[in-house]
Protein backbone atom coordinates (compact mmCIF):
# COMPACT_ATOMS: atom_id res chain seq x y z
CA UNK A 1 0.00 0.00 0.00
CA UNK A 2 0.95 3.66 -0.06
CA UNK A 3 0.18 5.21 3.30
CA UNK A 4 2.69 8.07 3.54
CA UNK A 5 4.53 10.24 1.05
CA UNK A 6 6.52 13.45 0.76
CA UNK A 7 5.35 16.48 -1.22
CA UNK A 8 7.56 19.50 -0.70
CA UNK A 9 7.37 21.32 -4.04
CA UNK A 10 5.80 24.76 -4.05
CA UNK A 11 2.56 25.40 -5.88
CA UNK A 12 4.17 27.48 -8.62
CA UNK A 13 6.59 24.63 -9.31
CA UNK A 14 3.72 22.17 -9.75
CA UNK A 15 1.77 24.59 -11.94
CA UNK A 16 4.76 24.75 -14.26
CA UNK A 17 5.81 21.09 -14.05
CA UNK A 18 2.35 19.79 -14.96
CA UNK A 19 1.55 22.60 -17.41
CA UNK A 20 -1.55 23.51 -15.43
CA UNK A 21 -3.94 25.97 -17.06
CA UNK A 22 -6.06 26.82 -14.01
CA UNK A 23 -5.27 27.10 -10.32
CA UNK A 24 -8.60 25.80 -9.01
CA UNK A 25 -7.63 26.42 -5.36
CA UNK A 26 -6.18 29.94 -5.65
CA UNK A 27 -6.72 30.81 -1.99
CA UNK A 28 -4.98 27.75 -0.61
CA UNK A 29 -1.25 26.99 -0.79
CA UNK A 30 0.04 23.97 1.09
CA UNK A 31 3.25 24.05 3.08
CA UNK A 32 6.02 21.58 2.21
CA UNK A 33 5.00 18.27 3.76
CA UNK A 34 7.52 15.48 4.33
CA UNK A 35 5.01 13.22 6.06
CA UNK A 36 1.77 13.32 4.06
CA UNK A 37 -0.71 11.05 5.82
CA UNK A 38 -4.31 9.96 5.13
CA UNK A 39 -7.01 12.66 5.57
CA UNK A 40 -4.47 15.43 4.95
CA UNK A 41 -5.06 17.99 2.20
CA UNK A 42 -2.95 17.33 -0.88
CA UNK A 43 -2.35 18.70 -4.35
CA UNK A 44 -3.98 16.93 -7.29
CA UNK A 45 -3.76 17.57 -11.02
CA UNK A 46 -6.94 16.87 -12.97
CA UNK A 47 -8.81 17.93 -16.10
CA UNK A 48 -12.40 19.15 -16.09
CA UNK A 49 -14.75 20.84 -18.53
CA UNK A 50 -15.44 24.46 -17.40
CA UNK A 51 -18.44 24.57 -15.08
CA UNK A 52 -20.53 26.90 -17.25
CA UNK A 53 -20.48 24.37 -20.09
CA UNK A 54 -20.86 21.19 -18.10
CA UNK A 55 -24.65 20.94 -18.36
CA UNK A 56 -27.37 22.48 -20.45
CA UNK A 57 -30.58 24.10 -19.26
CA UNK A 58 -32.38 20.76 -19.20
CA UNK A 59 -29.77 19.27 -16.86
CA UNK A 60 -28.57 16.84 -19.52
CA UNK A 61 -25.30 16.92 -21.40
CA UNK A 62 -25.23 20.05 -23.56
CA UNK A 63 -23.84 20.64 -27.02
CA UNK A 64 -21.40 23.06 -25.42
CA UNK A 65 -20.04 20.30 -23.17
CA UNK A 66 -19.65 17.93 -26.10
CA UNK A 67 -17.66 20.54 -28.03
CA UNK A 68 -15.76 22.06 -25.09
CA UNK A 69 -12.19 21.30 -24.09
CA UNK A 70 -11.27 20.01 -20.66
CA UNK A 71 -8.99 22.35 -18.71
CA UNK A 72 -6.04 21.03 -16.70
CA UNK A 73 -6.35 22.18 -13.09
CA UNK A 74 -4.42 22.04 -9.84
CA UNK A 75 -6.72 21.49 -6.86
CA UNK A 76 -6.35 20.85 -3.16
CA UNK A 77 -8.20 17.67 -2.15
CA UNK A 78 -8.44 15.48 0.94
CA UNK A 79 -6.60 12.15 0.79
CA UNK A 80 -9.00 9.27 1.38
CA UNK A 81 -11.75 8.84 -1.21
CA UNK A 82 -15.35 9.21 -0.06
CA UNK A 83 -17.69 7.50 -2.57
CA UNK A 84 -20.69 9.50 -3.73
CA UNK A 85 -23.01 6.98 -2.05
CA UNK A 86 -21.30 7.11 1.36
CA UNK A 87 -23.46 8.04 4.33
CA UNK A 88 -20.48 9.09 6.45
CA UNK A 89 -17.30 10.77 5.13
CA UNK A 90 -15.21 8.92 7.73
CA UNK A 91 -15.15 5.98 5.29
CA UNK A 92 -12.47 7.93 3.42
CA UNK A 93 -9.79 6.98 5.96
CA UNK A 94 -10.12 3.39 4.70
CA UNK A 95 -10.08 4.38 1.02
CA UNK A 96 -6.58 5.84 0.67
CA UNK A 97 -5.54 3.21 -1.89
CA UNK A 98 -7.29 1.53 -4.83
CA UNK A 99 -5.75 -1.72 -6.09
CA UNK A 100 -5.02 -1.78 -9.82
CA UNK A 101 -6.32 -5.32 -10.07
CA UNK A 102 -9.85 -4.36 -8.92
CA UNK A 103 -10.15 -0.60 -9.44
CA UNK A 104 -12.41 -0.93 -12.50
CA UNK A 105 -14.90 -3.19 -10.67
CA UNK A 106 -15.03 -2.06 -7.04
CA UNK A 107 -18.19 0.00 -6.32
CA UNK A 108 -16.19 2.63 -4.44
CA UNK A 109 -13.88 3.33 -7.38
CA UNK A 110 -15.32 2.19 -10.72
CA UNK A 111 -17.22 5.39 -11.58
CA UNK A 112 -14.26 7.58 -10.69
CA UNK A 113 -11.96 5.32 -12.70
CA UNK A 114 -14.18 5.87 -15.74
CA UNK A 115 -14.07 9.68 -15.72
CA UNK A 116 -12.44 11.21 -12.63
CA UNK A 117 -8.78 10.28 -12.85
CA UNK A 118 -6.03 12.51 -11.47
CA UNK A 119 -2.32 12.77 -10.77
CA UNK A 120 -1.03 13.16 -7.23
CA UNK A 121 2.41 14.86 -7.26
CA UNK A 122 4.99 13.49 -4.82
CA UNK A 123 8.72 13.71 -4.28
CA UNK A 124 8.78 10.14 -2.98
CA UNK A 125 6.90 7.76 -0.70
CA UNK A 126 7.57 5.66 2.40
CA UNK A 127 7.27 1.93 2.99
CA UNK A 128 8.13 -0.19 6.01
CA UNK A 129 10.01 -3.49 6.00
CA UNK A 130 9.98 -5.94 8.92
CA UNK A 131 13.33 -6.44 10.65
CA UNK A 132 13.97 -10.11 11.26
CA UNK A 133 15.70 -11.49 14.31
CA UNK A 134 14.37 -8.85 16.70
CA UNK A 135 12.86 -9.99 20.00
CA UNK A 136 10.38 -7.17 19.66
CA UNK A 137 8.62 -6.86 16.32
CA UNK A 138 10.05 -3.89 14.45
CA UNK A 139 9.87 -2.30 10.99
CA UNK A 140 12.44 -0.17 9.20
CA UNK A 141 11.03 2.74 7.14
CA UNK A 142 12.42 3.33 3.66
CA UNK A 143 12.12 6.41 1.45
CA UNK A 144 11.54 5.53 -2.21
CA UNK A 145 11.99 8.21 -4.88
CA UNK A 146 13.05 8.79 -8.50
CA UNK A 147 16.80 8.39 -8.92
CA UNK A 148 16.93 11.58 -11.02
CA UNK A 149 15.19 13.67 -8.34
CA UNK A 150 12.18 14.31 -10.56
CA UNK A 151 8.57 14.46 -9.48
CA UNK A 152 6.44 11.33 -9.08
CA UNK A 153 3.06 11.55 -10.80
CA UNK A 154 1.08 8.96 -8.83
CA UNK A 155 -2.05 7.67 -10.53
CA UNK A 156 -5.12 8.66 -8.56
CA UNK A 157 -8.89 9.05 -8.61
CA UNK A 158 -11.03 11.82 -7.18
CA UNK A 159 -14.67 12.03 -6.15
CA UNK A 160 -17.26 14.59 -5.07
CA UNK A 161 -19.35 13.90 -1.97
CA UNK A 162 -22.36 16.01 -0.99
CA UNK A 163 -23.03 16.51 2.72
CA UNK A 164 -26.82 16.10 3.18
CA UNK A 165 -26.73 17.93 6.52
CA UNK A 166 -25.53 21.24 5.02
CA UNK A 167 -27.47 23.93 3.20
CA UNK A 168 -27.17 24.19 -0.58
CA UNK A 169 -25.26 27.49 -0.33
CA UNK A 170 -22.85 26.24 2.35
CA UNK A 171 -19.26 26.34 0.96
CA UNK A 172 -18.59 23.11 2.86
CA UNK A 173 -21.51 21.31 1.19
CA UNK A 174 -19.16 19.50 -1.18
CA UNK A 175 -16.15 17.43 -0.11
CA UNK A 176 -13.63 16.51 -2.81
CA UNK A 177 -11.40 13.54 -1.99
CA UNK A 178 -8.84 11.31 -3.69
CA UNK A 179 -7.12 7.94 -3.58
CA UNK A 180 -3.82 6.50 -4.85
CA UNK A 181 -3.87 3.54 -7.25
CA UNK A 182 -1.39 0.83 -6.23
CA UNK A 183 0.15 -2.11 -8.05
CA UNK A 184 2.46 -5.04 -7.43
CA UNK A 185 5.94 -3.78 -6.54
CA UNK A 186 8.74 -4.38 -9.02
CA UNK A 187 11.51 -6.82 -8.08
CA UNK A 188 13.93 -4.11 -6.97
CA UNK A 189 11.43 -2.73 -4.44
CA UNK A 190 9.35 -5.81 -3.72
CA UNK A 191 11.73 -6.92 -0.96
CA UNK A 192 10.63 -3.86 1.03
CA UNK A 193 6.88 -4.08 0.39
CA UNK A 194 4.82 -6.03 -2.13
CA UNK A 195 2.77 -2.98 -3.20
CA UNK A 196 3.71 0.40 -4.64
CA UNK A 197 1.88 3.44 -6.04
CA UNK A 198 1.24 3.32 -9.78
CA UNK A 199 3.11 6.04 -11.68
CA UNK A 200 1.94 7.76 -14.87
CA UNK A 201 4.73 8.74 -17.25
CA UNK A 202 4.71 12.26 -18.69
CA UNK A 203 3.76 11.18 -22.21
CA UNK A 204 0.58 9.58 -20.82
CA UNK A 205 -0.55 12.44 -18.57
CA UNK A 206 -2.96 14.05 -21.03
CA UNK A 207 -4.70 10.81 -21.95
CA UNK A 208 -4.93 9.65 -18.33
CA UNK A 209 -6.49 12.95 -17.23
CA UNK A 210 -8.95 13.19 -20.14
CA UNK A 211 -12.45 13.00 -18.57
CA UNK A 212 -13.90 12.01 -21.96
CA UNK A 213 -11.85 8.81 -21.97
CA UNK A 214 -14.57 6.60 -20.50
CA UNK A 215 -13.18 3.32 -21.85
CA UNK A 216 -11.88 1.67 -18.68
CA UNK A 217 -9.94 -0.95 -20.65
CA UNK A 218 -8.10 1.80 -22.49
CA UNK A 219 -7.50 3.66 -19.23
CA UNK A 220 -6.12 0.46 -17.69
CA UNK A 221 -3.59 0.16 -20.52
CA UNK A 222 -2.13 3.51 -19.48
CA UNK A 223 -1.17 2.04 -16.12
CA UNK A 224 2.29 0.66 -16.75
CA UNK A 225 4.67 0.00 -13.80
CA UNK A 226 7.77 2.19 -13.55
CA UNK A 227 10.85 0.87 -15.35
CA UNK A 228 13.12 -1.20 -13.16
CA UNK A 229 15.83 0.96 -11.61
CA UNK A 230 13.99 4.24 -12.05
CA UNK A 231 13.16 4.37 -8.35
CA UNK A 232 15.71 4.03 -5.56
CA UNK A 233 15.22 3.34 -1.86
CA UNK A 234 17.19 3.92 1.32
CA UNK A 235 16.44 3.59 5.06
CA UNK A 236 15.31 6.68 6.97
CA UNK A 237 14.61 7.64 10.56
CA UNK A 238 11.75 5.99 12.44
CA UNK A 239 10.62 9.55 13.24
CA UNK A 240 8.43 9.23 10.14
CA UNK A 241 6.34 6.68 12.02
CA UNK A 242 4.69 9.51 13.93
CA UNK A 243 2.46 11.69 11.73
CA UNK A 244 3.19 14.65 14.03
CA UNK A 245 6.81 14.66 12.90
CA UNK A 246 7.65 16.63 9.79
CA UNK A 247 10.57 18.27 8.03
CA UNK A 248 13.32 17.41 5.53
CA UNK A 249 15.19 15.31 8.10
CA UNK A 250 12.58 12.59 7.52
CA UNK A 251 13.97 11.85 4.05
CA UNK A 252 17.65 11.93 5.01
CA UNK A 253 19.43 8.54 4.66
CA UNK A 254 20.01 6.67 7.90
CA UNK A 255 22.01 3.58 8.78
CA UNK A 256 19.56 0.80 9.68
CA UNK A 257 20.05 -0.70 13.14
CA UNK A 258 20.27 -4.26 11.80
CA UNK A 259 21.68 -3.84 8.31
CA UNK A 260 22.39 -7.54 7.89
CA UNK A 261 18.77 -8.33 8.62
CA UNK A 262 17.45 -5.93 5.99
CA UNK A 263 19.22 -7.25 2.92
Residues serving a catalytic function are: 2, 127
73 with 45: CB under 8 angstroms? yes
Residue count (the chain): 263
- Measured between alpha carbons, how far is 98 from 144 in angstroms, rounded to an integer? 19
How many secondary structure helices (H) and strands (E) does the chain include?
Answer: 7, 13
Facing residues of 42 across strands?
77
Positive/negative CA dihedral, 13, 14, 15, 19: positive
Q: Cβ(178)–Cβ(157) under 8 Å?
A: yes
CA nearest 161: which of 145, 144, 179, 177?
Answer: 177
CA 176 to chain centre: 13
Residue (of 154, 191, 124) closest to 46 by Cα position? 154
Amino acid sequence: MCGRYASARKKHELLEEFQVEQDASPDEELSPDYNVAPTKRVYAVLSRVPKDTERGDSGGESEARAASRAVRQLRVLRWGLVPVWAKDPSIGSRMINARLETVAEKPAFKKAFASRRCLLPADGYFEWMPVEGEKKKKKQPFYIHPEDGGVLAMAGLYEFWKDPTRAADDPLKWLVTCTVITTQAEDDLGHIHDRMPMMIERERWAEWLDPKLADTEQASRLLVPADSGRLVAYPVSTDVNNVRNNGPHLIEPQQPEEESALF
